[in-house]
Chain A
């Protein structure tokens, strides 16, 4: 029974003790149940990251002149809505080996990774083995980020380069070569195309503001090794693909540029537990897949002093996202 408790607390508090926990033994329960439970628990992290990565692609609707360019660091935070603090546990979604301990109810709200840590917010779950023995233990606690910093958010950070090409078209590149450490790997690649639309519309092109369209795609891969020394194949893998389409408009006023846009943002995120574990017959035992998207509208302000650009914008979407950008721009 200790093993079940171990997995719960491994998932909630395990980063500092990944290498000390016998994860394999913790997975001896039904993988299907574990997958469903963890999918609900991790969902806002996977979803929020998809929205967070899509932040900061542009800070103006005006494209560069030919071979003009910009380099910027973009930091975004997708705010987790209150609905992302819990997920619904329905007994009917699980086998009899994992049910709510309270037999008088058939469903309950459990904390997600961004949810409450309080005991009263974590209903008891009953785990039953093949012999009918059962143990009940509190649902997973949230990770405590909201308590720590005052709000729940999924952050991201990228470096982005934009360069002006022909016909008022910018190519934007986000690239981070593979970063490798004994405990993790990380890499990211993305690109976007921003094209001036106003030039194609008679009369409109003379108006004193800019209008363009942007499509962008981004791929982020990361892997955290759970037991790098003894079991180098055991890892928690997190990959996210995002897509963004927006129509943009901006107006320059002295050193300031007000910009905004409307469009759509989408993502797919996969969280995979890789490797082989004792008492779990199949390798790579857990795979959580998420896919979603929403309409998106954002509004931002850029301040440009000489070559230096500083921007901040707020995007309204399923997970509202705040982005700040710092960099420089030439032509």
Chain B
């Protein structure tokens, strides 16, 4: 009996005391902000004026690391979006570019001009709330582009960088 009391007291005394109460007080929330990059191939585009590509599951953004040890998100949205044109043989592309995540289009001025190798930061009118449509930790992206002129290259890529902020609960 005494031994049991000792154990109870001593467990309370030390680090376990401080490391154990979280669950009793309800879920703990934390914010995590991370940047995710994805490269989308645009193939067979030469002499075309538009393209449309949706990333397959194996080439989508995986936000499981953002969740960490937490059980669920209570908020999840994209704060920033950056687009880089890569492997394009022409000088630049003037586009009406629509970028969507989980089928939700980002809200911004879509008339943009991309120069190969130059990252273009897109000023979002509103952050994109992903939570309602999130069914897994994989987020597919879609790009739809319409050029004012004929595209100069057959195959090129668009590198997208998304800064995603999540509030998760443990």
Interface residue ranges, A against B (CB under 8 Å): 1-2, 5-6, 8-9, 11-16, 21, 42, 45, 49, 75, 101, 113-114, 117, 119, 122, 124, 133-138, 141, 143-145, 147-148, 154-157, 176, 179, 181, 184, 186, 220, 222, 224, 236, 238, 271
Decide: A6 and B68 in contact? CB cutoff 8 A: yes
**With contacts A13-B19, A145-B17 known, is A179 near B33, CB below 8 A?**
no
Closest CB-CB distance, A165 to chain B, in whole Å? 27
Decide: A117 and B28 in contact? CB cutoff 8 A: yes
Decide: A5 and B19 in contact? CB cutoff 8 A: no
- Contact partners of B14 in chain A: CB under 8 A: 49, 184, 186, 222, 224, 238
- Contact partners of A157 in chain B: CB under 8 A: 9-10, 13
Q: When the two chains form the complex, which single residue of B7, B11, B13, B34 contacts A135, counting CB atoms closer than 8 Å?
A: B34
**With contacts A15-B20, A143-B20 known, is A137 near B30, CB below 8 A?**
yes
Q: With the chains together, A167 CA to B75 CA distance in Å? A: 72
Q: When the two chains form the complex, which single residue of A135, A148, A154 contacts B24, counting CB atoms closer than 8 Å?
A: A148
Decide: A9 and B68 in contact? CB cutoff 8 A: yes
Decide: A145 and B18 in contact? CB cutoff 8 A: yes
Decide: B21 and A144 in contact? CB cutoff 8 A: yes
B35 at interface (Cβ–Cβ under 8 A)?
Answer: yes
Decide: B29 and A143 in contact? CB cutoff 8 A: no
B15 at interface (Cβ–Cβ under 8 A)?
Answer: yes
B58 at interface (Cβ–Cβ under 8 A)?
Answer: no
Q: When the two chains form the complex, which single residue of A124, A179, A271 contacts B6, counting CB atoms closer than 8 Å?
A: A179
- Contact partners of B17 in chain A: CB under 8 A: 45, 143, 145, 154-155
- Contact partners of A186 in chain B: CB under 8 A: 6, 10, 14
Decide: A271 and B32 in contact? CB cutoff 8 A: no
Closest 7 CB pairs of A and B: A5-B68, A13-B22, A144-B25, A15-B19, A143-B18, A157-B9, A144-B21
Decide: A2 and B68 in contact? CB cutoff 8 A: yes
Decide: B15 and A12 in contact? CB cutoff 8 A: no
**With contacts A6-B68, A13-B170, A238-B14 known, is A148 near B28, CB below 8 A?**
no
- Contact partners of B3 in chain A: CB under 8 A: 179
Task: List 28 A-B pairs, Cβ < 8 Å.
Answer: A8-B30, A9-B70, A13-B22, A13-B23, A13-B170, A15-B15, A15-B16, A21-B69, A45-B18, A133-B35, A135-B33, A136-B32, A137-B31, A138-B30, A143-B17, A143-B18, A143-B22, A145-B21, A155-B9, A156-B9, A157-B13, A176-B6, A179-B3, A179-B10, A184-B16, A186-B14, A222-B14, A224-B14
- Contact partners of A181 in chain B: CB under 8 A: 7
What total of A-B pairs shows CB separation below 8 Å? 133
**What residue in chain B is nearest A135 (Cβ atoms)?**
B34
- Contact partners of A220 in chain B: CB under 8 A: 13
Q: With the chains together, A157 CA to B9 CA distance in Å? A: 6
Interface of A is mostly: mixed
Q: With the chains together, A186 CA to B66 CA distance in Å? A: 38
Decide: B25 and A147 in contact? CB cutoff 8 A: yes
Decide: A135 and B32 in contact? CB cutoff 8 A: yes
- Contact partners of B25 in chain A: CB under 8 A: 117, 144, 147-148
Most buried by A among B19, B68, B69: B19
Most buried by A among B6, B16, B20: B16
**What residue in chain A is nearest B19 (Cβ atoms)?**
A15
**What residue in chain A is nearest B33 (Cβ atoms)?**
A136
**What residue in chain B is nearest A222 (Cβ atoms)?**
B14
B65 at interface (Cβ–Cβ under 8 A)?
Answer: yes
Closest CB-CB distance, B70 to chain A, in whole Å? 8
- Contact partners of B34 in chain A: CB under 8 A: 1, 135-136
Inter-chain pairs besides A9-B28, A13-B23, A119-B31, 17 sampled, C-beta below 8 Å: A2-B65, A2-B68, A5-B65, A9-B170, A12-B22, A13-B170, A134-B35, A137-B31, A143-B19, A143-B21, A145-B17, A148-B25, A154-B17, A176-B6, A179-B10, A224-B14, A224-B15
Q: With the chains together, A21 CA to B25 CA distance in Å? A: 21
B12 at interface (Cβ–Cβ under 8 A)?
Answer: yes
Closest CB-CB distance, B3 to chain A, in whole Å? 7
Decide: B167 and A119 in contact? CB cutoff 8 A: yes
Q: With the chains together, A42 CA to B167 CA distance in Å? A: 25
**With contacts A45-B15, A157-B13, A224-B16 known, is A12 near B32, CB below 8 A?**
no
Q: With the chains together, A133 CA to B161 CA distance in Å? A: 12
**With contacts A135-B32, A222-B10 known, is A9 near B69, CB below 8 A?**
yes
- Contact partners of B21 in chain A: CB under 8 A: 143-145, 147-148
- Contact partners of B29 in chain A: CB under 8 A: 119, 138
Q: With the chains together, A255 CA to B10 CA distance in Å? A: 33
